[in-house]
Structure 1
């Protein structure tokens, strides 16, 4: 693995470009300064839209500080892949007219410390980056010729004192220097200070010219004619050099999106949210916009966490792994001398490059470069099993081509795992999948003793993963991870004296419907002439002449309440709009049948005739 910092980035980048161009697929991973905010946690109640909104609000102040890339190439005429891995340390720089900042969650700091993260490398040699917004801001300053003024205002007091000493030093040197022969070197440790010193020294001394070096500036004495030629050739070289130093790792990101090669990651939802906000644009408010942006940037994505769940469905019990974490899956495929690697699975070799100081040999989890390599390794192992199962049991020893391996998992492209949500995954290139979780459970307190959601969760968690939220003061809803756990909970609490637990029915258990039932006498008093009778496969409206001048307003309001309740509860676009002329309905609406034994919402003053509506 090649460690890439600000010191060797320019040296490594050409080799990185060639490696990525030749790759069949590219695995990535990131390490963050934080991922959660406050006491809010992932919940089985979360829809994908709610989860995106929750994540968007939480991760905005955090950043990626380490980014791993592992490029996998298929060896020609061999059943073998080679992988070359890069580990980037990333740290934003203050840019002119904008003071950038980020937060670091203590829990994440402790976590990275536990796994040996090199904080000194990050602080001293982290690579800068820009998103499109900040890059556009700098380009605008260059075009408007305001960049130097903004840089000048950002110079610290210490840098200003050092520059004054440099001016004095050059002034003394010029007294004895020969034209275009002698030179002097002055330190300029940051790109911003180097840019400032170039511009200011050339402005103060008309008989010198400056050249950039590695954290130094070389000053030579020149003739007026030579100075004029150099100024004409200069153009915006200094400005573009400064801009490129700020762009840094974003150059890698921009190259990745031009390649459009398959991207592999493990449990990648947060990774792509961080990538979007850090290297592309701030996260949009709507999930659909984020989804479209990511699919446009990376048309083909495979999540090894999602693949592992799909693969478990077709494996025998003895072939399944215990844990779907990156380390758990790696342990499964590498322990016992490859016991669970199927015959014919491609060999995987980690390539090294001595010219680029590829000296990091110990593989460590939660180092972004190694985690990217592990994700690519697992991708190859799992795609081979999928291909073997797909093409038939008689091909256990077949060596598949790369195209055959990719075709075996084509249906899983752009499906990304969702941790503890209402749906188990999202899809970047199509409609969102329907939830396969069991229906929520409705919990009602049967005693006067107060019970909290955490107490209910504690009682039910022994049956599996559950999340509990307050529904009304004495009622709660429970989301359960799987159907087996839901059945166990219902069976266990069937005869319970404290808690009444049944599957949740959106209409029967709706506070709004109960509110309408409780207030039917009020409607009767003002002669609101409606009765809605809901039976299985049957809907009827009762009609009769208007008896109150309030009738049009109250009727419209009641119908709107019913319409909202039906749409919310059943997901149907139901129209209950009707017109009255001379006391009779003049419009009939078809309403889908409701799967209910019998629910009545009665708002009437007398008992007129009935008109069937479907």
Structure 2
């Protein structure tokens, strides 16, 4: 089901109830920018901390435009799952000095158009949100009794005219009508709050409250003598305003509150953006980022990493085409893993999910992530038991426990990011050292082309005539060493940091020069004496 600003409030209770009943939640996010440019190039040299440091500032320029959540609910009687999916359309809001800027690349627009992204829903119907840091700022304004001045400071001329218009309208009603009540329909929650405060200041005898039947309407009583007259407390108006401003952040708070396991596919970037958009600016330290995510979402599974590890068990005739989400989902959906055809848990996609099934649409991708998780979990559990039959969510979770909180890292020095412990040591072979025998200044692109035929490898300059090579596998490293064994252009060897680094060589030569100078000085003194 698509959730926009128009139906968010009325669907919030259903969403909450579906979340409560779920055993885990499929998650996916779509961004306003593709991961392109030099800082987003994945290098085999990169540790997770180095990659985080490279991209954290760039990520702050991007926002999540769509979030997909699919609540998977287990039916004990049938031993099957029901999947209730939602696509949330988001759009940032202007609030006081909160005015987020973000990039929208042309290449991203092309990609989104290809996958039928609805830009009108993003711009006109997107649900607002606040990060925890921004929410705290608003709460502080309330405590300081200056929320009204904070909000009015950023009003546009048309919004100021609207405030004046409704004040004049109420004044006219008080002087020319004998009706005891009056309604004002105001869509914008910030304007609605400001009109409440403005009217109360200008007309001390009137009472104002939000209409129960329609939260967009302000109900005004001429005075307290009117039957049923009441005036909403400022605390109530402030709470109503914050609830409206939080928007989708309410859903994030529900996920934090209920601690449901989160299932995503290749969610390294999703988590960075989730932190930046709903928690606060990304911290300088990578370790703090991991701690913040783990404190809020203590159980996360990445089907990209799980499938990479479990795929090693497949035979050549069984292996999937790739473990990108679409290929992985179709591998299981079409029953290509034969062992899982005996007693599987059926997964029923039920209303309110009625999206056209299109990959790179957040709701559908969140469903596919959860679908693959169920199949991978059953595979792992049945392998442990030695018999293939339907298994419950607890058995699946237990079987996949070794993969919990391990997030896939693309083409890096380490295979995954561990959210609740230290990251693992590098699984790559030792770096190779390459030295040019002919060129005074090494052509890095030329070297990269020369090693490319041996397999996945990255090249980084070390000095004017030297470079380092990071190979993806030990097989590739051995192949590079053999290829250049008799080369007249380059000498390749296993890198020894203390013997081949420029800094080490400089230190050795400096030490030698200092020692030599001291010896010469001593000899010179002896000769003179």
Normalised TM-score (structure 2): 0.92
- Gaps of at least 5 residues in structure 2 are none
- Partners of 2:392 and 2:216 in 1: how far apart? 52
Pick one of 459, 473, 479 that aligns with 1:468. Answer: 459
- Partners of 2:488 and 2:55 in 1: how far apart? 39
- Partners of 1:348 and 1:446 in 2: how far apart? 62
Report deviation, 1:505: 1.7
Note if contact 1:80-1:347 (Cα within 8 Å) is conserved in structure 2. yes
Normalised TM-score (structure 1): 0.80
Pick one of 419, 422, 442 that aligns with 2:433. Answer: 442
- Partners of 1:517 and 1:209 in 2: how far apart? 84
Aligned residue in 2 for 1:178:
178
SS in 1 for 2:412: coil
Note if contact 1:265-1:302 (Cα within 8 Å) is conserved in structure 2. yes
Q: Structure 2 matches for 1:254-273, cutoff 5 A?
A: 254-273=253-272
What do the CA deviations read for 1:359-405 (whole angstroms, capped 9, x no partner)?
42x2111111111110000001111111222222xx13x23232222
Flag the 1:444–1:380 CA change in 2: closer, same or farther, 3 A. same
What do the CA deviations read for 1:93-139 (whole angstroms, capped 9, x no partner)?
11124333322233223222221111101111111111121111111
| CA RMSD, 1 decimal | 2.6
Flag the 1:496–1:10 CA change in 2: closer, same or farther, 3 A. same
Pick one of 347, 364, 368 that aligns with 1:374. Answer: 368
- Partners of 2:362 and 2:423 in 1: how far apart? 29
- Partners of 2:401 and 2:451 in 1: how far apart? 39
What do the CA deviations read for 1:225-254 (whole angstroms, capped 9, x no partner)?
4599734x5232222211111111111111
Report deviation, 1:36: 4.2
Flag the 1:228–1:142 CA change in 2: closer, same or farther, 3 A. farther
Report deviation, 1:497: 2.0
* Greater gyration radius: 1
Aligned residue in 2 for 1:568:
none
Note if contact 2:4-2:127 (Cα within 8 Å) is conserved in structure 1. yes
SS in 2 for 1:230: coil
**1:501 matches 2:495:** no
Note if contact 2:321-2:327 (Cα within 8 Å) is conserved in structure 1. yes
SS in 1 for 2:453: helix
Q: Structure 2 matches for 1:23-42, cutoff 5 A?
A: 23-34=22-33, 36=35, 38-40=37-39, 41-42=41-42
SS in 2 for 1:308: helix
Aligned residue in 1 for 2:237:
238
Note if contact 1:174-1:221 (Cα within 8 Å) is conserved in structure 2. no
- Partners of 1:442 and 1:49 in 2: how far apart? 23
Q: Which has the higher contact order (CA 8 A, sep 6+)?
A: 2
**Larger mean Cα displacement after TM superposition, 335-344 or 149-158:** 335-344
- Partners of 1:216 and 1:25 in 2: how far apart? 34
Aligned residue in 2 for 1:596:
none
SS in 2 for 1:421: coil
Flag the 1:172–1:296 CA change in 2: closer, same or farther, 3 A. closer
Aligned residue in 2 for 1:135:
135
Aligned residue in 2 for 1:387:
381
**1:126 matches 2:126:** yes
- Gaps of at least 5 residues in structure 1 are 530-545, 549-604, 606-614
Report deviation, 1:450: 4.7
Q: Structure 2 matches for 1:51-70, cutoff 5 A?
A: 51-70=51-70
What number of residue pairs does the alignment pair up?
Answer: 521
Pick one of 169, 186, 189 that aligns with 2:187. Answer: 189
Note if contact 2:174-2:222 (Cα within 8 Å) is conserved in structure 1. no
Flag the 1:65–1:525 CA change in 2: closer, same or farther, 3 A. same
Q: Structure 2 matches for 1:202-351, cutoff 5 A?
A: 202-206=200-204, 208-212=206-210, 216-226=216-226, 230-231=230-231, 233-335=232-334, 341-351=340-350
- Partners of 1:216 and 1:298 in 2: how far apart? 34
SS in 2 for 1:27: strand
Aligned residue in 1 for 2:115:
115
Note if contact 1:186-1:218 (Cα within 8 Å) is conserved in structure 2. yes
- Partners of 1:413 and 1:92 in 2: how far apart? 32
